[in-house]
Structure 1
Amino acid sequence: MPQYDFLFAKIVQQVPPAQIIFISHWNQQITNQFSLRLQGEFERNGLNFADHCLMLPRLNKFDYLQLNLLADIGLDTIGFTGFLTTLNSIACDLPVVTVEGEFMRGRQSTGILERIGVRETIAQSPVEYLEIAVRLGLDLNWRQAIAQKFEISRLFCMKIRPAFRHWKSFIGRLR
């Protein structure tokens, strides 16, 4: 949502080596509008969008999971969260930052994270979202601790050990 575009620029300012990766919308016009909007926000903050952001084409499932395995953190969208995106992130031990929304569409990631006992990356405001994202970007030990909670939660909360072993094996082959 446009009112939260500033967060991407602020994250990059506070985590200078950060690279933010976006996946293109199937409608190229929407992708172009989004890119132009973010370019303007980055310019207003004295940053070059192209130096810090990459717009990837649509990805197949394998490549999408590979991307999750390579990333350091996942930035959930504010106001309309990504249910499957969050599940895939957790499967790849990728810490996800989200804002607890007012309506169901903005509470999906919160519900998942609460279910597995990870409240540390659930923000109550955009400012707190920024703080959590920056901390995850800078604090490797904290980021690894969150990822470890994801792994433990898959083993004990979901109670599907055989399926988990097959999934973990599949993910391991992707690495």
Structure 2
Amino acid sequence: MSPIDTPRAFIPVRIAVLSVSDTRGPEDDRSGDTLVARIEAAGHVLADRKMLRDDRTDITRQLRRWIADDGVDVVISTGGTGLTGRDVTVEAHRDVYEKEIDAFATVFTIVSMQKIGTSAVQSRATGGVAGGTYLFALPGSTGACKDAWDEILCKQLDYRHMPCNFVEIMPRLDEHLRRK
């Protein structure tokens, strides 16, 4: 058996979910509910969950809190990734990124194209890393959250996924902060 075929044990990660909306509340946050259900079904830990209005400063502040929290490995936000004036989640994410995961947006667009065709061009989904924490901004639609989780995140957040995944490099995300 080669190393790439060696079975590995599952490693649960701690994931915070942020729903961003000016029109929805906790009682009708279907996209947030969808993410939480998938996170828990996959065996991961829901570290925290919040809902905020479309305000760049508030979103950035919450992202920074979770980045500083050792109990959060990953943040997934839903909502505010579109093109309207109130859609500021992507800007808030980019305010905190140390590195952007450019291919996340590309792969998300490819997945979305298979479901919604050229309407996928309207999404600004993004991913990045800051302070050793992964951050992903997904559209507010339940379908987009399902697609991002089922086709990308469930695999990349599973240590058993080969040939590589986000979990295996997690311990090295903030190595630059430890260098002298």
Q: Output the TM-score relative to the length of structure 2.
A: 0.41
| Higher relative contact order (CA closer than 8 Å, sequence separation 6+) | 2
Which of the pair is proportionally richer in strand? 2
Which of the pair is proportionally richer in helix? 1
